[in-house]
Amino acid sequence: MPAKGSAEWNGDLKSGSGTFTAGDAISGAFSFKSRFEDGPGANPEQLIAGAHAACFSMAFSNVLAGAGHVPTSVRTDATVTLRLTDDGPTITRIALRTVGVVPGIDDAAFQEHAAAAKAGCPVSKALAGVGEITLEATLEA
């Protein structure tokens, strides 16, 4: 099933503003200040972070369950870093931090499955052009 999103921008870059929708339930406003100056509103990098965190959590849960370790929960935060480079604004880094509650698994297996989930996550694959995607995985008792 295809996923859909849309956006509209009005005006010039610095004083203009835009709105976006993602699917049926997510919408918001964005501006130069919300994207580059930590102003109020949303920005595309937040949407990428949310998508990556959601995708990784699902992929990791699937990998764990496939190995016989059904998780109680997998909670993931993603931090997307946008920097000004010689090529202009560029997403240079994504840091994934995940915490899993997984009965009956040791940390070595947990780490192995986390790495496999990162490699297999469709959003991770789509973001392969990002210079650095890190993963910190914590097994919680």
pLDDT at 132: 96
93 and 53 housed in the same domain: yes
29 and 92 housed in the same domain: no
By residue range, what is the domain housing residue 10? 5-36
13 and 59 housed in the same domain: no
28 and 94 housed in the same domain: no
Q: What CATH number should be reported for the domain holding residue 72? A: 3.30.300.20
Mean pLDDT of 76-100: 96
Tokens (6 digits) for 61: 């849960």
53 and 31 housed in the same domain: no
32 and 49 housed in the same domain: no
Name the domain count of the chain: 2
32 and 48 housed in the same domain: no
138, β-bridge pairs = 99
61 and 16 housed in the same domain: no
- Nearest Cα residue to 102 out of 63, 48, 54: 63
78 and 132 housed in the same domain: yes
Looking at the predicted structure, is the pLDDT value of residue 45 above 90? yes
The percent of residues above 70 in pLDDT, for the chain, comes to: 100
Looking at the predicted structure, is the pLDDT value of residue 122 above 90? yes
Looking at the predicted structure, is the pLDDT value of residue 141 above 90? no
73 and 48 housed in the same domain: yes
62 and 121 housed in the same domain: yes
pLDDT at 1: 81
CB 99 within 8 A of CB 140: yes
pTM, rounded to two decimals:
0.94
96 and 28 housed in the same domain: no
Mean of per-residue pLDDT scores for the chain: 96
Looking at the predicted structure, is the pLDDT value of residue 113 above 90? yes
Looking at the predicted structure, is the pLDDT value of residue 112 above 90? yes
pLDDT at 27: 95
